[in-house]
Amino acid sequence: MSERPPEQTSDGSTKLVDFILYALAAVTYIVASIYNKWLLDWVIGPLWLVAWVWGVPALWRLLHGQPVRPNRGPRHEVGEEDL
């Protein structure tokens, strides 16, 4: 059985992974901001969330030799099939 790319996995597992990433982002942000009050900022908070939700999976794929961006296949121009 071959492993499917992340974009082709079932919706249930994708939603679970998304939930875990958001939960870990929230918990780590709250814990870190208890000790570092400067983290409680309108700029740092969204950056922290993006770093967890996008950066952690990208780092995981990079460390495992997988492409960070999914391969989309060959691109064709609109109307090219009509020729």
pLDDT in tens, 5-57: 555 555 678 788 888 888 998 898 888 888 888 777 788 888 888 888 888 88
Helix axes 11-35, 56-63, angle to 10 degrees: 110
pLDDT of residue 2: 47
Q: Which residue has the tokens 């064709």?
A: 76
pLDDT of residue 64: 82
The length of the chain is: 83
Give pTM, 2 decimals. 0.58
Instruction: Tell whether the model's pLDDT for residue 65 goes beyond 50.
Output: yes
pLDDT of residue 33: 85
pLDDT of residue 76: 58
